[in-house]
Amino acid sequence: MSNTNSERKRGIIVGLFTLLGIVFFVMAIFLLGGNQKRFSKTIALKTIFENAGGLKVGNNVFFSGVKIGTIKKIKLNNKSQVEVDFIIDDDSRQYIRKDATVKIGSEGFIGNKTLVIEGGADGVALVENNDLLQSVEAFDTEKMMTTLQTNNENMVAVTGDMKEISKKIVAGEGTVGAFLSDSLMAMQFRAVMASLTRTAANTERVTQSLNAFTNKLNTQGSLANELLTDTTVYSSLKSSAAQLQGITQTTAALVQNIEQASGKINSKDNTLGVLLNDEEMAEQMKKTMENLQQSSAKLDQNMEALQHNFLFRGYFKKQAKEAEKAAKEAEKNQ
């Protein structure tokens, strides 16, 4: 009897464990099926990469950080193209346009590779089953490490060059080394700096002088300010300048006329020139003047003789009285 009860208990326990195993198995099927989108409506899409970058079948597909599908197939089209087929939930189709792009991402820095769908303009049609989306080359960790390694090698080379340069400088080689180690060059450099300092000081003084001159120009009542700002003074100066210009032109014309007259005086083509330059004519004129002088003297003598002549004495007395009368009338009128 006891053996029978023991077998019955053992059978019940085995049955319970078997039932639990079946329940767990069914739950696992549903969970895995849910992750692989086997029990929901989906659409198939695909893209082409030059390098799959470690993608595997079963990796997830994300859109805006939300898992919407899985990779179903990866195959080589040729030596430079890898076709990746994937499925997405039909519910997420309303957000994905035909101009959307696909790139390779990662779940964390060193996690599984994923597909990431991005972009898509609102005015573009929604994706349809078996559409081919454009791929975009994503961030490549391997390329980054290669670049970093190259940079490190370059830095090592630069460091080595700097080490050699510093040695040469310390040894006094090259221009920089000579400059740092040659005391004469150092003194010359100090002299140059002193000269530059003096030049700067002179420049500052010139600047101050210019500022002072500018302030004087802006001082009300000063001649410079009046000349620059008073339109009346400016007009007067302009008028005076015009008058001076006219006087200058007149003077120039006068000088020209004098030069022309001087030229004519020195020429024998006119009377004055003949009188001044012709010696023969001058001699004739001299003789004529002498003759006139002699004639005048003789005329005076004749007139004196006539006054004493009894025939003309009355005439000359009458003339003298009339002249005296005219003189007295002139005095009264004054």
- What's the rounded Cα separation, in Å, for the pair 247 and 180? 72
In a domain, 222, yes or no: no
- The answer to which of 62-66, 78-82, 286-290 has the lowest mean pLDDT is 286-290
**In the listed set 107, 136, 165, which residue is the last one of a domain according to the structure?**
136
The count of residues in the chain is: 334
Q: Given pLDDT bands bounded at 50, 70 and 90, which one contains residue 101?
A: very high
Residue 71 has pLDDT above 70, yes or no: yes
pLDDT: which is higher, 297 or 17? 17
**In the listed set 83, 109, 136, which residue is the last one of a domain according to the structure?**
136
Identify the domain containing residue 291 by its residue range. 266-301
Q: Which of 43-52, 217-226, 242-251, 303-312 has the highest average model confidence (pLDDT)?
A: 43-52
In a domain, 157, yes or no: no
Q: Given pLDDT bands bounded at 50, 70 and 90, which one contains residue 316?
A: low
In a domain, 277, yes or no: yes
The burial of 7, by beta-carbon neighbours within 10 Å (0-12 exposed, 13-18 middle, 19 or more buried), is given as exposed
Q: Given pLDDT bands bounded at 50, 70 and 90, which one contains residue 63?
A: very high
What pLDDT was estimated at residue 126? Answer: 93
Q: How far is CA 281 from CA 262, 269, 274, 276, 286, in A?
A: 20, 13, 7, 9, 9
Give how many domains the chain has, as a whole number.
2
**Which tokens sit at 285?**
């004129």
pLDDT, one tens digit per residue, over 161-196 is: 777 776 766 666 666 566 556 666 667 767 877 877
In a domain, 42, yes or no: yes
Residue 142 has pLDDT above 80, yes or no: no
pLDDT: which is higher, 68 or 231? 68
- What's the rounded Cα separation, in Å, for the pair 102 and 116? 6
In a domain, 17, yes or no: no
pLDDT, one tens digit per residue, over 2-58 is: 567 777 777 788 788 788 888 877 776 656 655 544 556 999 999 999 988 889 999
In a domain, 10, yes or no: no
**In the listed set 136, 169, 189, which residue is the last one of a domain according to the structure?**
136
Q: Residues with Cβ < 8 Å from 281, sequence gap 6 or more?
A: 274, 275
Residue 220 has pLDDT above 60, yes or no: yes
Mean pLDDT value across the chain: 75
pTM: 0.36
State residue 268 phi and psi, 5-degree precision. -95, 15
pLDDT, one tens digit per residue, over 232-276 is: 656 666 676 677 676 667 767 766 776 776 666 566 666 656 656
Residue 74 has pLDDT above 90, yes or no: yes
In a domain, 82, yes or no: yes
In a domain, 170, yes or no: no
